[in-house]
Amino acid sequence: MPEKQIDRPGTDKGLSRRKLLTAGVAAGGALATGAVSAKAASTPDPLITEIQDWNRYLGDGVDANPYGMPSEFEKNVVRRDVAWLTADSKSSINFTPLHELDGIITPNGLCFERHHGGVAEINPVDHRLMINGLVDKPLVFTMEDLKRFPRENRVYFLECAANSGMEWRGAQLNGCQFTHGMVHNVMYTGIPLKHILNEAGVKASAKWLLPEGADASAMTRSLPIEKAMDDCLVAFKMNGEALRPEQGYPVRLVVPGWEGNMWIKWLRRIELGDAPWHQREETSKYTDLMANGKARRFTWEMDVKSVITNPSPQAPITHGKGQTVVTGVAWSGAGKIKRVDVSIDGGRNWKTARIDGPSLSKSIHRFYYDFEWDGSELFLQSRAIDEVGNVQPTKNELRAARGVNSIYHNNGIQTWHVKADGSAENVEIS
Amino acid sequence: MSKSLKLFAAIGLLLASTSLAQAQDADAGAKVFKKCKACHAVGDGARNRVGPHLNSVFGRKAASIEGFKYSKAMSVAGSGGLVWNDETLAAFLTKPRKMMKGTKMAFSGLKKEKDRANLLAFLKSFSPDAASAAAPEKPKKQEIAAAPAPTEPKAKPVAAKDAPIPEHGVFHLGRAALVEEVKAWDIDIRPDGQGLPTGRGTVSQGEPIYTENCAVCHGDFGEGTGRWPILAGGQNTLTDERPEKTIGSYWPYLSTVYDYIRRAMPFGDARSLSDDDVYAVTAYLLFLNDIVTDEEFELSNENFNNTRLPNEANFFADNRKEEPQNTARSEPCMTDCKPGKAEVTMRARVLDVTPDSKEGEGAGAIE
């Protein structure tokens, strides 16, 4: 239970775990915190021999927090942003703290945010969804109408196309939260989009959809009808509760396996047409500039990808050598993850990791590699392979094919350099 | 008469026409403040953004926040003794550029007196010293904090038993959208011109509209300020180390410019420009990009499709599957895959760029 022991605040209540880690890393080692791992004891541990406050006095009763929140000792487990990435917080992004999570589900309050016009605040009673364009009968739905359709529950990852986009030119950000945190994995409750479209009657000439948001950017993307009729959902719950405002409350589009920008939040309208609209977010943005100056467009599917979340720069090894858990996440827009390999020597040799937890199509998978660390430096990498046979490429393979200016769709293999003191750094290697 | 004296004379005139008898509602003001949020922050931890933070703005001397780069006009007014209070703020908010020619604040103004009064009530709740300044009503913040635990809202069953079930579709849900409703929301435009509203505007009409509404972020010539998007220039840079992706250098279709301005700009005050204004601004952006050169060029729904953007032909469909790393389908190597020991070739450049840095390599990568 090393994790538990690190989290314990110890005698110095003012020193948070985050501070400890930062201090440890800054000092060139995380040894300061290594002492909490259970070692042979010569003197009795007062935490065992003395009666602790929480063992003597009563705690809060029920309803102290009508909506329960994480322990105060977890207060550093939060989304974080990188201020210089964008001009303004209303059209910006923050990152999921992947290194603090386990399993496959992302808690609602930690799902990264990306807005183009701030978070729309909409009373569900005031929300409408319109279907118009090439349909037999344009329709308007209230939220109450939507909740009368048959619904489904599905777990899907949502990844921003720009995830890892800062790493094209080389290792830049120190932490998987920043290099890979534009992803989350949530169980949605929603209505198959085809049910709603069929209600309006789709004309044979309709080939494209234009879903639109009700926010101040009135976000729009063109979506081919095959995808709409395949697995898209119109979702109003995430992980069992109402969508969070920042995730599109009261209703959003779910476009499994495809880039997050298409998952229109605050979904208020879907138009059907016979050609794509070439909106701002599929021309000026979310197109992939190649080295020759030409650009790919409509690069919807998210490629097979993985990253080791622990250890990583924000989560160094603090327990010293011996039994060590390496863990991470893997996903693919093409389906399930078939296998994840882990290398501790920078890709010279690979061992197949253990996938644990549900293996679902277009969902995050959790993998573990348990090994005995000899205390020498490590070059940790993970390589995911999906059920269609797509293999996660190296960053250099991607650069050779695309150059370094494409911003989007960087699914290259990540390397963490773990030093003998347990600290970790984002590097690129020979 | 000195500059500042002239200014005060102007303020005096405006004040005469600005009544403050309106009842003020801080909650309603919070909604009005959404128009300001793109540039101004207020409340705990508010920092200067495009505009200065607005904590304790009541009683504050104009242009007095250290470190914020005010316009010359605002600085002159501040050193001339302009202090923000109900009267001066109301006058400024009515039409910022009228009261203060040369202000950097691009916002065109709050025309409704009620909006101004409510906004001031809202801002006052973040100005502890404003209590003496005739605050008619304390904001409801404390009341909310002290409110009793939420009671369960009761769902109201609607007596709709008698309403006929519609006949459309499979589940017979939803109702017919009215023509007016579709018209109100369906404002998208395609590259073939489908969806363009009737209207027109010239380059020279567009310039003042752009200067007033757009230049604060995008710069007077579309060069961009701070990390806001660059709109003009950048031709022939797409193969450079630092490509500049502008309307003229990168965007494939002019329809996208019109569509996006109409749906989402100006940032923080979307849908405030008329269709003709948007034609004029679009024409002006063509001019800034040297795609048209005549200042009297008029863009309209009739000639819209005659203009093509230079980079249209340089987009191609997704072909990632054909890239070398995706076509090699052999089993991935498991042992002795690379010669020699791994050596670090590149590190995260500056360790401290990570959470709180101000500058970085990928600045402006995401907009």
B215 and B288 assigned to the same domain: yes
- Cα–Cα distance between B249 and B364 in angstroms, integer? 17
Q: Residue B110 contacts by C-beta under 8 Å, 6 or more apart in sequence?
A: B32, B35, B93, B94, B116, B119
* Beta strand A424-429 pairing with B344-347: antiparallel
Q: In which band, very low, low, confident or very high, does the pLDDT at B159 lie, cut at 50, 70 and 90?
A: low
Q: In which band, very low, low, confident or very high, does the pLDDT at B124 lie, cut at 50, 70 and 90?
A: confident
Query: Across the interface, do B343 and A220 touch by the CB < 8 Å criterion?
Result: no
B196 and B134 assigned to the same domain: no
Query: Across the interface, do A289 and B359 touch by the CB < 8 Å criterion?
Result: no
B218 and B133 assigned to the same domain: no
In chain A, positions 20-59, which contact chain B (CB-CB < 8 Å)?
Answer: none
- Cα–Cα distance between A308 and A369 in angstroms, integer? 10
CATH fold match for the domains A108-296 and A305-427: no
What's the domain range around B242?
A: 184-314
Query: Across the interface, do A275 and B190 touch by the CB < 8 Å criterion?
Result: yes
Q: Which amino acid is at B102?
A: G
**A205 and chain B: CB distance < 8 Å anywhere?**
no
Q: Does B360 reside within a domain? A: no
Q: Which residue in the set B238, B250, B332 is minimally distant from A284, CB to CB?
A: B250
Residue B268's alpha-carbon distances to A90, A150, B214, B319, in angstroms, are 9, 38, 11, 37
- Please list the alpha-helical segments (H only) found in A244-378: none
The answer to whether residue A304 scores a pLDDT higher than 50 is yes
For chain A, the domains span 108-296, 305-427
Q: Which residues of B209-220 are buried (b: 16+ CB within 10 A; e: fewer)?
A: bbeebbbbbbbe
Contacting residues of B for A276, CB less than 8 Å apart:
190
Contacting residues of B for A338, CB less than 8 Å apart:
none
Q: Which amino acid is at A121?
A: E
The answer to whether residue A25 scores a pLDDT higher than 60 is no
Contacting residues of A for B357, CB less than 8 Å apart:
82-84
- Contact between B25 and B121 under an 8 Å Cβ cutoff? The reply is yes
Q: In which band, very low, low, confident or very high, does the pLDDT at B154 lie, cut at 50, 70 and 90?
A: low
Q: Which residue in the set B38, B190, B323 is minimally distant from A88, CB to CB?
A: B38
- Please list the alpha-helical segments (H only) found in B219-327: 254-264, 275-288, 324-327
Highest mean pLDDT among A71-80, B138-147, B341-350: A71-80
The answer to whether residue B94 scores a pLDDT higher than 70 is yes
- Contact between A195 and A238 under an 8 Å Cβ cutoff? The reply is no
The answer to whether residue B134 scores a pLDDT higher than 70 is no
Share of chain B above pLDDT 70, in %: 79
Asked whether the CA dihedral A142, A145, A150, A153 is positive or negative, the reply is positive
Query: Across the interface, do B325 and A133 touch by the CB < 8 Å criterion?
Result: no
Phi, psi torsion values for A263, nearest 5 degrees: -80, 70
Determine the residue of chain A that is closest to B314 in CA distance: A294
- Cα–Cα distance between B7 and B98 in angstroms, integer? 10
B19 and B120 assigned to the same domain: yes
Contacting residues of B for A346, CB less than 8 Å apart:
338, 341-342
The answer to whether residue A329 scores a pLDDT higher than 70 is yes
Q: With CA atoms as reference, report the closest residue to A212 among A300, A286, A124, A277.
A: A277
The more confident residue out of A329 and B149 is A329
**CATH 1.10.540.10 assigned to A305-427:** no
SS3 B14: helix
Q: With CA atoms as reference, report the closest residue to B332 among A413, A311, A157, A329.
A: A413
Query: Across the interface, do B175 and A140 touch by the CB < 8 Å criterion?
Result: yes
Which CATH number do you get for residue B308?
1.10.760.10
**How many Cβ atoms sit within 10 Å of the Cβ of residue A132?**
22
- Contact between A307 and A415 under an 8 Å Cβ cutoff? The reply is no
**A327 and chain B: CB distance < 8 Å anywhere?**
no
Q: What is the mean pLDDT of residues B179-189?
A: 98
B62 and B114 assigned to the same domain: yes
Contacting residues of B for A277, CB less than 8 Å apart:
188-190, 259
Contacting residues of A for B245, CB less than 8 Å apart:
284, 289
pTM (2 d.p.): 0.81
Bond before A250 cis per omega within 30 degrees: yes
Q: Residue A162 contacts by C-beta under 8 Å, 6 or more apart in sequence?
A: A93, A182, A407, A408, B365, B366
Query: Across the interface, do B329 and A389 touch by the CB < 8 Å criterion?
Result: yes
- Contact between B78 and B52 under an 8 Å Cβ cutoff? The reply is no
- Cα–Cα distance between B321 and B328 in angstroms, integer? 10
Contacting residues of B for A130, CB less than 8 Å apart:
177, 181-182, 185
Q: How close A393 gets to chain B, by Cα (Å)?
A: 6
Q: In which band, very low, low, confident or very high, does the pLDDT at A333 lie, cut at 50, 70 and 90?
A: very high
Contacting residues of B for A198, CB less than 8 Å apart:
169-170
Determine the residue of chain B that is closest to A90 in CA distance: B38
Q: In which band, very low, low, confident or very high, does the pLDDT at B157 lie, cut at 50, 70 and 90?
A: low
- Cα–Cα distance between A276 and A262 in angstroms, integer? 13
Query: Across the interface, do A280 and B256 touch by the CB < 8 Å criterion?
Result: yes
* First vs last C-alpha separation in chain A: 35
Lowest mean pLDDT among A318-327, B114-123, B298-307: B114-123
Contacting residues of B for A175, CB less than 8 Å apart:
354-355
The answer to whether residue A56 scores a pLDDT higher than 60 is yes
* Beta strand A295-297 pairing with B315-317: parallel
Contacting residues of A for B367, CB less than 8 Å apart:
86-87, 91, 285
The answer to whether residue A136 scores a pLDDT higher than 60 is yes
Contacting residues of B for A389, CB less than 8 Å apart:
329
What confidence tens digit (pLDDT) does each residue in B244-295 have? 999 999 999 999 999 999 999 999 999 999 999 999 999 999 999 999 999 9
Cα maximum dimension of chain A: 81
**How many Cβ atoms sit within 10 Å of the Cβ of residue B102?**
12
The answer to whether residue A92 scores a pLDDT higher than 90 is no
Query: Across the interface, do B353 and A195 touch by the CB < 8 Å criterion?
Result: no
Query: Across the interface, do A425 and B348 touch by the CB < 8 Å criterion?
Result: yes
* Alpha-carbon B37 to chain mean position: 9
Q: Which residues of A49-88 are buried (b: 16+ CB within 10 A; e: fewer)?
A: eeeeeeeeeeeeeeeeeeeeeeeeeeeebbbbbbebbbbb
Asked whether the CA dihedral A289, A294, A298, A301 is positive or negative, the reply is negative
Domain A108-296 -> CATH class: alpha beta
Tokens of B189: 């435009």
Residue A320 burial by Cβ neighbours in a 10 Å radius (0-12, 13-18, 19+): middle
**A165 and chain B: CB distance < 8 Å anywhere?**
yes
Determine the residue of chain A that is closest to B265 in CA distance: A217
The answer to whether residue B150 scores a pLDDT higher than 70 is no
Query: Across the interface, do A199 and B37 touch by the CB < 8 Å criterion?
Result: no
* Beta strand A267-273 pairing with A128-133: parallel
* pLDDT given for residue B56 in this prediction: 87
**A145 and chain B: CB distance < 8 Å anywhere?**
yes
**A/B interface, count of CB pairs below 8 Å:** 307
Query: Across the interface, do B353 and A91 touch by the CB < 8 Å criterion?
Result: no
The number of folded domains in chain B is 2
H or E segment and range at residue B208: helix B203-213
Q: Does B215 reside within a domain? A: yes
Residue A351 bridge partners (DSSP): A342
Q: In which band, very low, low, confident or very high, does the pLDDT at A258 lie, cut at 50, 70 and 90?
A: very high
What confidence tens digit (pLDDT) does each residue in B23-48 have? 678 888 888 887 787 778 888 878 88
B12 and B97 assigned to the same domain: yes
- Cα–Cα distance between A367 and A340 in angstroms, integer? 7
Q: Which residue in the set B50, B190, B348 is minimally distant from A277, CB to CB?
A: B190
**A263 and chain B: CB distance < 8 Å anywhere?**
no
Query: Across the interface, do B185 and A130 touch by the CB < 8 Å criterion?
Result: yes
Q: What is the mean pLDDT of residues A185-193?
A: 98
| Structural domain ending residue among the three candidates B295, B314, B333 | B314
Q: Does B364 reside within a domain? A: no
